[in-house]
Amino acid sequence: MSTIIGLFTELLSAGGVQRAGRHVAAVVAKFAADRGVNYRFLSLNDAHGSHTIRVGPNEFLCSGYGRNKLQFVLAALNAASRQPLLVIALHPHLAPIVATMRWRAGKFRSIVFAHGLEVWQPLSWPRASALRSVDLVVAPSNDTAQHLISKQQIRADKVRRLAWGLDPEFVARFRGPNAPSRPESFPVGARIILTVGRWDPSERYKGADTLISSLPRILHTAPDAVLVLVGEGKDRPRLEQLAIESGMAHHIRFLHGLSQDELFACYAHCNVFALPSSGEGFGLVFLEAMAHAKPVIGGAHGGTPDVVEDGVTGILVPHGDVALLSNALESLLVNAARASEMGARGSERVRTTYTFERFQSGLLQVMEQVLIR
């Protein structure tokens, strides 16, 4: 029986790339079931063994390889020996494995997903060459698609834009009968600026430093403002120290280890969501905030302008500009009517454009088109 092979960097942990991978895997598993073919999903960085994962009503299995690259590659080559119908890789860095599988298996169709920052500069020759050899490269935003064409020299007809969708589990919680309770340490009786991210040294481009630096200006007009930073990462202690050194520690809260329900509550109870990043390939967290009818502030860079319509669903600011970020936050914290209007428009945009169902429909169409080429 024909097989579809999926190669993933990681599926089980938090993070945008991981969540996107789960969405793709769920749709591919459905596609395989509908066509009566098998699938096999291999995940490099997840724990050794078989894992069952659910995305909405869809359930699938994957095999983890515990960061053992040799075992992962050997498993991919072994899978390729069975003459797969289609190979899908969820990161451009996996493209050389796809190329090696083609050498082993001969002819099959291939799709590689790009995300953002990893393709903004030219890849190494082996990775770029392998990426150019696949049948289709999928990008979540116009910005990433253009970088694939200009920086990686991918032919424009081999690049397809397909935006990510809101997580089905998130939608289920959103539609629940009761609003979730705030996490125990979440501020009460304050105007909340929320940001959500992974606070690692490699991801300082997300703009947490700038948010902390903007607080002294904001407090002149919104003295009850509190910045809530949700997320894990090795850079969190440095950010906590920065909060102390700025004299703003009593207006800043760091929350981590939250459940999905607690994260949901943070969105539900904030006034403004802000991630003034310079490196987002898309920004699933913006969708989550917009689904809650919250106004959002993002960096005027990368894939964020695809998601956040400046002046309509939120405000875009240049990364690192403390003055402009402060002005944007003040305008939404002080002008509740404007914030509410932007939030309502953002909620409508998510419902019409960024549902999981719409993503699923788009990916099913992409796979059908690749297979009939």
Are residues 299 and 316 in contact, defined by beta-carbon separation less than 8 angstroms?
A: yes
Identify the CATH number of the domain in which residue 335 sits. Answer: 3.40.50.2000
Share of the chain above pLDDT 70, in %: 98
R_g over Cα of the chain: 21
Please tell me whether residues 156 and 7 are part of one structural domain. yes
Res. 177: pLDDT tops 80: no
User: What is the average pLDDT across 12-31?
Assistant: 93
Residue 49 structural domain:
3-165+355-371
User: What is the average pLDDT across 71-77?
Assistant: 97
Please tell me whether residues 60 and 42 are part of one structural domain. yes
Residues 6+ apart with CB under 8 A from 180: 173, 261, 262, 264, 265, 268
Question: Per-residue DSSP letters for 142-170?
Answer: HHHHHHHHHTS---GGGEEE------HHH
pLDDT value of position 105? 79
pLDDT value of position 321? 95
For 217-266, the pLDDT digits (tens) are 999 999 999 999 999 999 999 999 999 999 999 999 999 988 888 998 99
Please tell me whether residues 339 and 199 are part of one structural domain. yes
Structurally, how many domains does the chain consist of? 2
User: What pTM was estimated for this model as a whole?
Assistant: 0.93
Label residue 106 by pLDDT band (50, 70, 90): confident
The alpha carbon of 102 is separated from its chain's Cα centroid by a whole number of angstroms, namely 29
Please tell me whether residues 121 and 195 are part of one structural domain. no
Please tell me whether residues 30 and 65 are part of one structural domain. yes
For 342-360, the pLDDT digits (tens) are 999 999 999 999 999 999 9
Please tell me whether residues 319 and 204 are part of one structural domain. yes
Res. 168: pLDDT tops 90: no
pLDDT value of position 179? 66
Angle at 341 between CA 340 and CA 344, to 5 degrees: 85
pLDDT value of position 170? 78
Please tell me whether residues 198 and 341 are part of one structural domain. yes
Angle at 29 between CA 26 and CA 34, to 5 degrees: 125
Q: Helix crossing, 16-35 with 284-291: angle to 10°?
A: 90
Higher pLDDT, 106 or 48: 48
Please tell me whether residues 133 and 180 are part of one structural domain. no
Res. 191: pLDDT tops 70: yes
Distance, CA of 3 to CA of 363 (rounded, Å): 17
Please tell me whether residues 348 and 359 are part of one structural domain. no
- How far CA 224 is from CA of 215, 266, 329, in Å, comes to 11, 17, 13
Please tell me whether residues 189 and 332 are part of one structural domain. yes
Label residue 98 by pLDDT band (50, 70, 90): very high
Res. 173: pLDDT tops 90: no
pLDDT value of position 58? 87
Res. 113: pLDDT tops 90: yes
Distance, CA of 87 to CA of 136 (rounded, Å): 11
Q: Which residue is it, tokens 């082993």?
A: 104
Please tell me whether residues 361 and 339 are part of one structural domain. no
Are residues 220 and 207 in contact, defined by beta-carbon separation less than 8 angstroms?
A: no
User: What is the average pLDDT across 359-363?
Assistant: 96
Torsion of CA 47, 53, 59, 65, to 10 degrees: -10
Averaged pLDDT score across all residues of the chain: 94
Please tell me whether residues 339 and 363 are part of one structural domain. no
Distance, CA of 157 to CA of 76 (rounded, Å): 27
pLDDT value of position 1? 63
